[in-house]
Amino acid sequence: MGTVVDAPVVVAEEVTENMLGGKKVTVVFVLGGPGSGKGTQCANIVEHFGFTHLSAGDLLRAEIKSGSENGTMIENMIKEGKIVPSEVTIKLLQDAMIKSENDKFLIDGFPRNEENRAAFENVTISFSLFQTKISPAFVLFFDCSEEEMERRLLGRNQGRVDDNIETIKKRFKTFVESSLPVIEHYSSKDKVKKIDAAKPILEVFEDVKAIFAPYVPKAE
Ligand SMILES: Nc1ncnc2c1ncn2[C@@H]1O[C@H](COP(=O)(O)OP(=O)(O)O)[C@@H](O)[C@H]1O
Ligand SMILES: Nc1ccn([C@@H]2O[C@H](COP(=O)(O)OP(=O)(O)O)[C@@H](O)[C@H]2O)c(=O)n1
Ligand SMILES: [Mg+2]
């Protein structure tokens, strides 16, 4: 038998540089159960790596406060630990991205179910200048036990209507039933970077930093 020379294998890379209203954007989805530390770590990432933090939950709470016609519906869904219809949340995220001067976004707490995920891809196509889908560069997944998350949520003290034990149980159920499948979807595409979020804040951030190292802002 002659020598076998392996042909080079070309693997098509998924597009992770997206065009939004004519500008290139990098999107990282930040997922994890309620109380896993998404917001806390996003604040650190903003400070060190120059991303803009868009929390779906914060945008929805601001929408309630603004007196929007959807306010009562959103508030009821949040109190029940349910996921607000995608069109509402996506509009808020889309507006915030278009308004921003930045080109690097942390999208925190979204997509939280399959409907969120599919709708985000579709809606983006229709307004993106180059008809490109926004697909995340990667998904950061904060992994934490329910016991620890419950302890954190009950101690959060931000006056949230959903940080009570009854709603917390409902949010955990929604997370397992609706949000974990989204993480599994991205995991099957090798896009998930899982972090042990049960550790103290600074230790979690050490692991986060290693992941964001390629995104370090250029020196001025
Ligand atoms: N690694 C951690 N260890 C202990 N407490 C934490 C940790 N990360 C966050 N917290 C606290 O837990 C609560 C929930 O954190 P938060 O960032 O709001 O989580 P999420 O956005 O995932 O719900 C906050 O009071 C926060 O200060
Ligand atoms: N994509 C999303 C994100 C949040 N939400 C709602 O907003 C609530 C609070 O979300 P959040 O991300 O601020 O909560 P935490 O995980 O940070 O505790 C969720 O429990 C949902 O009711 C939603 O409907 N859809
Ligand atoms: Mg949060």
- What is the distance between the alpha carbons of residues 197 and 141, in angstroms, rounded to a whole number? 9
- Residue 113 CA: nearest ligand 2 atom is 1
* Residue 30, SS3 per DSSP: strand
Count of CB atoms situated within 10 Å of the CB of 86: 22
Concatenate the DSSP letters of all residues of 146-185 into one string. HHHHHHHHHT--S--TT-SHHHHHHHHHHIIIIIHHHHHH
Residue 2: its pLDDT value, please? 42
Q: Which amino acid is at 25?
A: V
> pLDDT tens digits, residue range 43-102?
999 999 999 999 999 999 999 999 999 999 999 999 999 999 999 999 999 889 888 888
Longest CA–CA separation in the chain, Å: 77
Measured in degrees and rounded to the nearest 5, phi and psi for residue 59 equal: -65, -40
Instruction: Tell how far the Cα of 80 is from the centroid of ligand 2, in angstroms.
Output: 11
Residue 185 CA to residue 183 CA, distance in Å, equals 5
C-alpha separations of 3 from 6, 10 in Å: 10, 21
Q: Can you tell me which atom of ligand 2 is nearest the CA of 56?
A: 3
pLDDT digits (tens, 9 = 90+) for 97-139: 888 888 899 999 999 999 999 988 875 533 345 545 678 999 9
Query: How far does the centroid of ligand 2 lie from the alpha carbon of residue 5, in Å?
Result: 53
Is any atom of ligand 2 closer than 6 Å to the C-beta of 116? yes
- State the pLDDT at residue 219: 60
Cβ–ligand 1 distance for 139 under 6 Å, the answer: no
- CA 108–ligand 3 middle distance (angstroms): 7
179 lines ligand 2 (CB under 6 A): no
Helix (H, G, I), strand (E, B) or coil at 23: strand
Cis before 111 (ω within 30): yes
- Percent of the chain past pLDDT 70, that is, above it, reads 83
Q: Is 86 in the pocket of ligand 2 (CB under 6 A)?
A: no
Which amino acid would we find at residue 133? K
ipTM score assigned to the predicted complex? 0.99
Q: CA-based Rg of the chain, rounded to a whole angstrom? A: 19
Q: Whose CA is nearest to atom 16 of ligand 2?
A: 34
Distance between Cα 111 and ligand 2 center (Å): 10
80, 173 Cβ separation under 8 angstroms: no
- Predicted pLDDT of residue 48: 96
| Cβ proximity of 198 and 144 under 8 Å | yes
For the stretch 5-48, pLDDT in tens is 454 443 333 445 566 655 567 899 999 999 999 999 999 999 99
Q: 146 pLDDT exceeds 70?
A: yes
Does the beta carbon of 37 lie inside 6 Å of ligand 1?
Answer: yes
Q: Does residue 189 have a pLDDT over 50? A: yes
Which alpha helices (H) appear in 50-138, and where do they start and end? 56-65, 71-79, 86-99, 114-127
pLDDT, position 15: 44
Band of pLDDT at residue 213, cut at 50, 70 and 90: very high
